[in-house]
Structure 1
Amino acid sequence: MLVWERPEPPDRPVPAPLNRERIVRAAIRLADADGLEAVSLRKVATALNVGPMRLYGYLAGKEELLDLMVDAVHAEIRPAGDSWREMLRSLAETTRQAAHEHEWLADLLGGRPQLGPNALAKGEVVVAALSGAGGIDVDSVMPVVSAVNAYVIGAVRREIAERRAERATGMDEKRWQVALGPYLDRTFASGRFPALATVVRDAAHHDADHTFRVGLDFLLDGIEARLV
């Protein structure tokens, strides 16, 4: 029986009250502060001032805890829109926002089944909007949603990786450009990469927000062209 279906044990107020929600919230606080490596049943138990074995009455192990953490964040992803395009854009943007607020989510998105109540409720809203007023046929709904989710997961993982690298090295994008500029100048001067040289030198370089929106527009335009 999955964790979503198992009833919780009766609450015992001594030495400290406990339930799955408190456990998950404590784990999320640890992960938000120090990443997933800071999350273990022992560390969560310490944060809650209870013994680690007590948590096993609520969870089978860390994997269930991670599933519960992901589903808790799904409650923060609330897509909305009057058309299929608005709904998919909202899905992409709210998922990205949640990943930036909880960096560890980028490490788990796409790699775990989204079967918790919050994930299913979000999926119901999206699918209902696309297959109802959106007019997308039932065979196309899931491939369309999967395409948008794949784009978002790839984009946020890149953005989070860049953010982590900046923290680790103390070098932002401009400092990287200064550091790598001479190498690129020498490489492009060889004439072996003319297309790349043109793009690097002449194309507009936008921030992550603009880049995300433009890429999403390309994807949604392609979906629309396929559906027409």
Structure 2
Amino acid sequence: MPAAEPFIWMRPERAGRGPRPAHSRDEIAAAAVRIADTDGLDAVSMRRVAAEIGASTMALYNYVNGKEDLLDLMIDAVSAEYQLPSGPLGDWRGVLLALARQGRTIALRHPWLPRALTQRPAVALMGPNALRYTEFILTAVNRVLDASTAMELIGLLTAVVHSYVQSELAQSEAERQAGLSADEFQASMAAYLGRMIASGWYPRFTQVVIEGASTPPPNADAIFERAVNRLLDGFSTRPDAGPRSAKPS
């Protein structure tokens, strides 16, 4: 018996024969996203999604093979939230920085997304909305980077954005578990670091803390943009990368 087609987008909307499908993949994906947004990724199950759309669990198997398909549909559904410009693109770095900002906003809106991507890193990013995003970036950098380098940039940009969001979410979760506000948590952290510095065991770290004490800490937005710009620096042949030699596609 041949293996099932791994890409859900290569399969019919509904398996088997019978009446016209009562549900759509968009409806199923939207239901799964609502569940994950409210109760977390672990709450997404075939039974829960089926109940959300008013179907039986067995009926849902006519549309998806299991949770892996649900994850693929969810990731692609939120990929549609990118607002991609339709006019002239201008500076490629500015375009990618704007996309990175959008990616951070989307991931914070859907906190389950970074984790879902680690579970479905290859298949999910081949969905139609994800490919629309990829095609847009490839077009934006076409005259600056070759295709292979551009794909590497897309992968690294995605990793930086979602790693940063995971750190933000982990910080918020640590504060929540400690039962402290953000300011209270920072005060507790400062007290702990003060004790570590006073121990004399970490002279280099102490120097960093002392040097940084004279300047206000950058906010999360500034740190994020600096991280993205440092990544983009690595793909620039000069501060403002110019057109590369045209090559046939």
Q: Which TM-score band (shorter chain)?
A: 0.7 to 0.9
1:127 to 138, 148, 163: 138
RCO higher in structure (CA 8 A, sep ≥6): 2
C-alpha distance in structure 1 between counterparts of 2:206 and 2:84, whole Å: 39
1:16-165 equivalences under 5 Å are 17-80=22-85, 81-111=89-119, 112-113=121-122, 114-131=125-142, 134-165=143-174
Query: Which of 167, 172, 186 is equivalent to 2:176?
Result: 167
Structure 1 gaps, min length 5: none
CA gap 1:18/1:138 in 2 versus in 1, 3 angstroms: closer
The percentage of aligned residue pairs carrying the same residue is 38
Superposition TM-score, scaled by structure 1 size: 0.88
* Counterpart contact for 1:11–1:18, Cα < 8 Å: no
**Cα distance in 1 for residues equivalent to 2:113 and 2:175:** 19
Alpha-carbon displacement from aligned partner over 1:15-38 (angstroms, at most 9, x marks no partner) = xx3221111111111111111111
Q: Kindly state the Cα deviation for residue 182 of structure 1 after the two structures are TM-superposed.
A: 3.0
Of 195-204 and 97-106, more deviation after overlay is shown by 195-204
Aligned partner of 2:198 in structure 1 is 189
Residues 96 and 137 of structure 2 are in contact (CA less than 8 Å); yes or no, is this contact kept in structure 1? yes
Work out whether 1:208 is the aligned partner of 2:220: yes
Aligned to 2:233: 221
The residue identity in structure 2 corresponding to 1:45 is A
Offset at residue 126 of structure 1 (A): 0.6
Give the secondary structure class of the aligned counterpart of 2:236.
helix
In structure 2, runs of 5+ residues without a counterpart are 243-249
SS in 1 for 2:235: helix
More helix by share: 1
Q: Structure 1 CA distance, aligned partners of 2:111 and 2:180? A: 19
Instruction: Give the Cα–Cα distance (whole angstroms) in 1 for the partners of residues 56 and 66 of structure 2.
Output: 14
How many residue pairs match? The answer is: 222
Divergent runs of 4+, >3 A: 78-81, 225-228
Measured in 1, the distance between the counterparts of 2:217 and 2:51 equals 46
Deviation digits for residues 170-210 of structure 1 (CA, Å, limit 9, x no counterpart): 32332123223333222212322233223334423122112
Supply the AA of the counterpart residue of 2:137.
V
Q: Deviations for 1:40-88, whole angstroms, at most 9, x for unmatched residues? A: 1101111222111000000011100111000001111234442221222
The answer to whether the 8 A contact 1:79-1:90 is kept is: no
CA positional deviation for 1:107: 1.0
Distance change (3 Å), C-alpha of 1:185 and 1:139: same
After superposition, the C-alpha distances for 1:141-175 in whole angstroms (9 at most, x for unaligned) are 12222222221121111112222333333323321
Say if 1:27 and 1:216 are closer, same or farther in 2 by CA, change over 3 A: same
2:139 and 2:53 map into 1 onto residues whose CA distance is: 39
For the structure 1 residues 19 and 135, does the alpha-carbon distance in structure 2 shift closer, same or farther, using more than 3 Å as the test? same
RMSD: 2.1
- Residues 87-113 of structure 1: CA deviation (Å, up to 9, x unaligned): 221221111111011111121235422
Q: TM-score, normalised by structure 2?
A: 0.81
3-state SS in 2 of match to 1:71 = helix
